[in-house]
């Protein structure tokens, strides 16, 4: 019980709220692409196939990445198990950065003159996820409502 309380514990401040909502809003469309095929994505089976066959990611980890970006983003938006959701998204972004983006340099491919996207987006997402892991859900979160520590 004490372990669960420490996962839910958060301050009733606005900074973690801003970080978690920003991360949730930015990540959810990527998760919806992978899970549901929205926004031009390939859906669950297409994404699983690409991750496992083309990238060589084990099926369990491919599944967890899809869940982290879709359901994890929804959990973050609500502030439910914020630390767990932020951790899943942070790990997913770290793996994506090192597996496919560091070789393209730092910057995004705004002008189409490099092989692919750089890793600046991933660093921003990782930074927001770290705020969620450290601070919890913050103000207006399910975690704050459930937590006994509402300072």
The per-residue pLDDT for 54 is: 95
pTM for this one? Answer: 0.92
- 16 Cβ partners below 8 Å, 6+ apart? 10, 82, 131, 132, 135, 136, 137, 138, 139, 141
Tokens of 53: 């066959």
The per-residue pLDDT for 151 is: 47
Tokens 């869940």, residue located: 67
**Which residue ranges in the chain fall short of pLDDT 70?**
148-151
pLDDT in tens, 78-104: 999 999 999 999 999 999 999 989 999
CB 80 within 8 Å of CB 143: yes
Tokens 């809003």, residue located: 25
Q: What is the DSSP letter of 140?
A: T
Give CA 112 to chain center in angstroms: 26
Query: How many CA atoms lie within 13 Å of 123's alpha carbon, on the beta-carbon side?
Result: 10
Q: What is the DSSP letter of 107?
A: S
The per-residue pLDDT for 148 is: 63
């Amino acid at each position: 019980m004490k372990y669960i309380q420490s996962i839910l514990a958060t301050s009733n401040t606005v900074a973690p709220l801003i970080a978690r909502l920003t991360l949730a809003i930015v990540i959810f469309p990527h998760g919806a692409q992978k899970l549901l095929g929205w926004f031009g994505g390939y859906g669950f089976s297409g994404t699983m196939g690409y991750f496992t066959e083309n990238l060589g990611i084990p099926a369990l980890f491919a599944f967890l990445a899809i869940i982290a970006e879709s359901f994890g983003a929804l959990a973050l938006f609500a502030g439910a198990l914020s630390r767990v959701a932020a951790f899943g998204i942070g790990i997913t972004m770290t793996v994506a950065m090192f597996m496919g983006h560091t070789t393209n340099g730092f910057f995004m491919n705004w002008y189409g003159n490099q092989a692919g996207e750089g890793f600046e987006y991933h660093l921003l997402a990782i930074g927001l996820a770290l705020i969620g892991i450290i601070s919890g859900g913050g103000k207006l979160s399910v975690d704050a409502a459930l937590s006994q520590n509402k300072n």
